[in-house]
Amino acid sequence: MRVSHIQKFSLWKFCIVACTISFTISGCTLEKRAMLRVTAETFRDRTADAITSVKKIYQLNNLPIDDNLVVDQLLTDASIEFGILREVNSIITGESQQNLQSSDVDQTLDALKAEYDTAVDVLNKLETIDYESKRIVAQTAQPARCLTVKMLLLAKRIQERPPRPMDWERVIISSKLKDLGERYRKLSISSQPEAEEIKRQVIEKIDDWRKVNAAEQQSLNESISKLLAAADTGRKLSELIDDYPNLNFEVIAARVTQIVGVTTSLTGNNYNSTLSNIHTLEREVNKDEVLKEFMKEISLKNRQVQPPSQLCQ
C-alpha cells in the first residue's frame, strides 16, 4: 500500500509539472503567433496597397474627343463606310479611340486578387489556431509564396512593358501642336512676330509633354515599388513560417521588426533604381529553393506552358 501511495503522489506531481510546462510553452506560442500575425497583416496591407496602385495605372481614361480631328477624318478618310451607321457613330462619339484595358491585364489582376483572397483567408486563421497546430501555420506559406512570386513578376512586367495611363494628356498636347504647325505653315514671310509667338507656344507644349512623361514614370515607379515591398514582405514571411517552430519569441520579434521596415530599401525614384530593386529581389527569391520552384511554375503558366506541378491556383 505504501508503494501505491508513493506512485500516486509521483504521478500527481508529474501531472502538475507537465501542465505547468505546457501552459508556459503555450503562453510563449501565443506571443509567437501574435508576432507572426503582425507580419501577416503587414503582408496583407502591402498587397492590398500594391493591387490598388496597379489598378490605378491600368485604369486608362478615354481619349478626349477633338472635333477638328473628327472633321478631318470624316473629310479625308476614304475607307469610311457611311452606310454603316455603327462605324460613323464610333468616329463621331470617339468610341474608336477609347482605351480599353486588355483582357490579359484583367486576367493578371483577377488572378492576383484571387491569390490575395486565398492568402488572407488562411492568414486569418492564425487568430484561432491552438497549441502545437503548426500545420495551420505552415499552410500560410503556400498562398504567401504564390502571391510573393506573382507580385514580383507583375513588377517585372510593368517595368518591361509599361502602360501609358497619361496618353489622354498627350492627345490634347499633340492636337495643339498640330494646330500650331498648320498656323505656322500658313504665315507669310513678313509675319516674323507671329512666327516667334508660335515657336514660344510650341516650346511650352514640349515642356508640357516632358512633364507628362515624368509624372507618368513616377506613377509607374511608385506602383512597382509597392509591388516589390509586398513581394519582399511575402518572401520574409515565407522564411519566418519555415523557421517558426525553431525560433524563440525574441528572435521572431527582431525579425518581424526588420520585416515591417522593409519598404525603405525598395523605394525607386527613377528607372535605374527601380530596375536595380527588381533584380535584387529576384536574386533573393531564386536563392530560396522553394520560392524558386514557385517562380518556375508561375513563369511557365505566364507563357501558357503547363507546369509539371500545381503549386498555385
pLDDT tens, residue by residue, 142-178: 778 888 898 899 999 999 888 888 887 887 888 888 8
Measured distance CA(31)–CA(102) in Å, rounded: 46
**Which parts of the chain sit beneath pLDDT 50?**
1-3, 5-28, 98-100, 131-132
Q: What pLDDT is recorded for position 55?
A: 84
Measured distance CA(253)–CA(251) in Å, rounded: 5
Grid coordinates 496602385 are at which residue? Answer: 53
pTM over 0.85: no
Q: What pLDDT is recorded for position 214?
A: 92
Measured distance CA(287)–CA(231) in Å, rounded: 15
Residue 68 in grid coordinates = 477638328
Q: What pLDDT is recorded for position 139?
A: 67
Angle CA 168–106–279, to nearest 5? 85
Single-letter amino acid code for the residue at 246: N
Residue 6 in grid coordinates = 508513493
Q: What pLDDT is recorded for position 3?
A: 45
Measured distance CA(194)–CA(59) in Å, rounded: 40
Q: What pLDDT is recorded for position 269?
A: 59
Measured distance CA(237)–CA(143) in Å, rounded: 11
